[in-house]
């Protein structure tokens, strides 16, 4: 949600709220009062009381891939987040993971795999794209089969001769993008349709927003690990000619925010309303409230 280094021990959903609520508050300006639901026991993330007497509720959530979130959640439960200790003299390795990797099994079996690599002098392997001929030695074919089963995409040993202190460890990098489905959304309308019908989206829409008594209901969706790259790009360069949304009756406002924003420009959000279509909200261009007023 920002290009700054994230705090991985924080709750990503709460971080999304902390980004989203100030955007809504500044958009609201002096037209009413926004109350942050985290300060109360309310299941709704924010409430707006307009000066003209209208009442609005809003909920914020991530477009998250549940499988990837589970992988990253497991990763950051570990004391050494992305590092697996190796036997002395084995050196420093890096490896990438596929969507099918399991952190617990990886931490258990990776030392054995690296030991097998060293035994046959293999220190640079591409498990996703290399083709192993049938006549290759059995030890090499077993090596690739084991790496693929662990969900490893590549495995590389690094030269540490120029380092003052050698490290015997493997640093691993899980996938952070959604698994291709073959049905990529073509535009923001298709993406929002999918977000609203996903399990998490349906819960926010049908269990939180729609049952609430309100004049307006704001759905605030933050792109995350479930958002395809094509949609990420559209959100970062949002234009007003995006197709109109088709949303459940009762949803009046849909906010969309890219996963990454540049601190220099401030958050750029898209806002769709059932009465006026799309707006682009760039807070860097908007006058700041008078702090003395």
**Predicted pLDDT at 2:** 44
Q: Which of 84-93, 175-184, 216-225, 252-261 has the lowest mean pLDDT?
A: 175-184
Cut 0.75: pTM above it:
no
Contact 205, 218 (CB under 8 A): no
Domains and CATH numbers, the chain: 12-65+179-285 (3.40.1350), 68-173 (no CATH)
pLDDT of residue 288: 42
What are the distances in angstroms from CA 16 to CA 6, 36, 219, 222, 256?
A: 12, 13, 13, 7, 11
Q: Do the Cβ atoms of 46 and 32 come closer than 8 Å?
A: no
Structure-block tokens of residue 220: 């605030």
Token pair, residue 58, equals 């809003």
| Residue 291, pLDDT score | 34
Whole-number Å distance between alpha carbons of 26 and 30? 9
- Contacts of residue 172, defined as CB under 8 A and 6 or more positions apart, other chains included, come to 82, 83, 84, 94, 95, 96, 97, 106, 110
Half-sphere exposure of 120 (CA within 13 A, CB side): 17
Q: Provide the pLDDT for residue 134.
A: 83
Q: How confident is the model at residue 263 (pLDDT cuts 50, 70, 90)?
A: low
Convert the pLDDT of each residue in 4-53 to its tens digit: 444 445 566 677 888 899 999 989 999 999 999 876 667 899 999 999 99
């Amino acid at each position: 949600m920002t290009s700054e280094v994230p705090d991985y021990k924080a709750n990503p959903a709460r971080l999304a709220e902390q980004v989203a609520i100030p955007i809504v508050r500044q958009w609201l300006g002096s037209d009413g009062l926004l109350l942050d639901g985290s300060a109360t026991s309310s299941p709704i993330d924010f409430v707006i009381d307009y000066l003209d007497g209208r009442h609005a509720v809003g909920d914020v959530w991530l477009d998250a891939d549940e499988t990837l979130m589970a992988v990253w959640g497991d990763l950051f439960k570990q004391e050494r987040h992305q590092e697996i200790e190796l036997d002395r003299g084995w050196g420093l390795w890096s490896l990438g993971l596929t969507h099918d990797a399991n952190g617990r099994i990886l931490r258990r079996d990776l030392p054995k795999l690296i030991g097998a690599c060293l035994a046959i002098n293999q220190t640079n392997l591409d498990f996703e794209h290399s083709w192993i001929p049938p006549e290759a030695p059995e030890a090499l074919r077993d090596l690739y089969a084991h790496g693929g089963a662990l969900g490893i995409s590549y495995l590389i040993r690094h030269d540490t001769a120029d380092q003052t202190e050698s490290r015997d460890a493997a640093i691993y990098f899980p996938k952070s993008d959604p698994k291709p489905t073959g049905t990529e959304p073509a535009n923001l309308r298709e993406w929002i349709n999918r977000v609203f019908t996903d399990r998490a989206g349906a819960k926010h829409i049908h269990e939180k927003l729609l049952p609430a008594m309100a004049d307006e209901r704001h759905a605030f969706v933050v792109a995350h690990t479930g958002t395809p790259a094509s949609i990420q790009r559209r959100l970062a360069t949002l234009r007003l000619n995006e197709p109109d949304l088709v949303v459940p009756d009762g949803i009046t406002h849909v906010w969309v925010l890219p996963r990454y924003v540049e601190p220099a420009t401030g958050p750029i959000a898209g806002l769709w309303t059932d009465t006026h279509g799309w707006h682009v909200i760039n807070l860097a261009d908007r006058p700041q409230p008078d702090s003395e007023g």
